[in-house]
Amino acid sequence: MTHAAMTLEPSPFGIQSKKLAIWLFIMADGATFGAILFAYGYLRIGTPDWSRPFAWTPTILNAAVMTLVLLSSSVTMLLAVSAAQSGRIAAGVRWLGGTALLGTAFAALHLREWFAMFHEGWSVSHNPLNGPAQFGATFFGITGLHLLHVITGVAAILVIAAGFRRGRFNAGHVETTGLYWHFVDLVWMFVFPMVYLMNAR
Amino acid sequence: MTTASASRPSARTYLIVWVALVAIVVVEILLTYAHLSPGTQLAALLSLALVEAGIALAYFMHLRYERAILFWSLIPGLVFALLMLDQIWFDALRLITLRHGP
């Protein structure tokens, strides 16, 4: 036994290093989203004439569908991880593909909503209802940061799926990616009620 | 290195969790149109969001099946950091009085 092997200790968490690393990233990213949501709350409370422009159709209904899509993508990701851990590579790749598809659908619905709002005159610095411009800044800032996480998550899932299929990545990589994806879903569970439902007409 | 968790939820458990989360989303939407005061609506939606987050952490992210030390090493610190942000609310309330006067 080498000297290095004799001095190594087992991880107290009982998990692979990459899994611990993604958990630490999730905690940091969670603090980031927490801070941006608190900033939104601060601006909202401190601004007496805050706009509440979201009608049931199309905005709230669209956001509800987006929520359903993202929740379903978490289930497909769970099935991908389960398949990967059972050694079922083809099934794992299929479920990863399904997750990426649902993530893309979420992003497409979101961008469609954004462009509809741009068309109405909304931007990060303009409120077409003559209310505070902070509405656009906070709305597009928060949803934009989340959308960035979704898009990079879809890209990561596709890379992992391709590598897993070729044998370059293992079930641990799939599980690590799954943790990131569930975090993206978890953040949306706060964004949807705080940013959409609280601004419903 | 193998993972510490010996048991994993079944597909049926995942489906039950999914149904529970969808049900919470439906309740959130119903509360939105229940003509609650803004403060009550916020408290209700935030509480439900925290329940959803707990369910997602426990079952989707498998924190329930990991060693307890992982939970205690990660979550309390994040909760503390987020609670510290609560200090800003007093300043936001002060802004309202500054705008409209005492």
Q: Which residue carries 């916020």 as its tokens?
A: B42
Residue B10 has pLDDT above 90, yes or no: no
Q: Could you give the CA distance from residue B12 to residue B19 in angstroms, rounded to a whole number?
A: 11
SS3 assignment, position A126: strand
What integer is the mean pLDDT of B7-30? 92
**In chain B, residues 4-63 whose CB comes closer than 8 Å to chain A:** 4, 8, 11, 14-15, 18, 21-22, 25, 28-29, 31-33, 38, 41-42, 45-46, 48-49, 52-53, 56-57, 60-61
Query: Which among A142, A118, A131 has a CA at the least distance from the CA of A51?
Result: A131
Put simply, the answer to whether A48 touches B29 (Cβ < 8 Å) is no
Best residue in B10, B25, B30 to probe A by mutation, most A CBs within 10 Å? B25
Residue A5 has pLDDT above 80, yes or no: no
Average of per-residue pLDDT values in chain A: 94
**In chain A, residues 41-60 whose CB comes closer than 8 Å to chain B:** 41-43, 45-48, 56, 60
Report the pLDDT value the prediction gives residue A48, as an integer from 0 to 100: 80
Report the pLDDT value the prediction gives residue A6, as an integer from 0 to 100: 62
Distance from CA of A163 to the nearest CA of B (A): 20
User: What DSSP state is assigned to residue B88?
Assistant: G
C-alpha torsion angle, residues B22, B24, B29, B32 (rounded to 10): -170
Q: Could you give the CA distance from residue A92 to residue A197 in angstroms, rounded to a whole number?
A: 35
Locate the chain B residue with the closest alpha carbon to A180: B61
Report the pLDDT value the prediction gives residue A11, as an integer from 0 to 100: 80
Q: Could you give the CA distance from residue A184 to residue A195 in angstroms, rounded to a whole number?
A: 16
Residue B2 has pLDDT above 50, yes or no: no
Average of per-residue pLDDT values in chain B: 87
Q: Per-residue pLDDT tens for B48-75? A: 999 999 999 999 999 999 999 999 999 9
Using an 8 Å Cβ cutoff, are A15 and B62 in contact? Answer: no
What integer is the mean pLDDT of B39-52? 94
ipTM entry: 0.90
Question: Half-sphere exposure of residue A93, counting CA atoms within 13 Å on the CB side?
Answer: 12
Q: Per-residue pLDDT tens for A86-105? A: 999 999 999 999 999 999 99
Using an 8 Å Cβ cutoff, are A150 and A184 in contact? Answer: yes
Any idea which of A35-44, A96-105, B4-13, B82-91 has the lowest mean pLDDT? B4-13
User: What DSSP state is assigned to residue A56?
Assistant: I
- pLDDT range class, residue A3, cuts 50, 70, 90: low
Beta strands in B14-84 (DSSP E): none
User: What DSSP state is assigned to residue A19?
Assistant: H
Q: Per-residue pLDDT tens for A8-26? A: 777 889 888 899 999 999 9
Any idea which of A36-50, A62-76, A91-105, A159-173 has the lowest mean pLDDT? A36-50
SS3 assignment, position A200: strand
The verdict on A35 touching B (C-beta cutoff 8 Å) is yes
What integer is the mean pLDDT of A46-50? 86
Using an 8 Å Cβ cutoff, are A67 and A188 in contact? Answer: yes
Q: Per-residue pLDDT tens for A141-181? A: 999 999 999 999 999 999 999 999 999 999 999 999 999 99
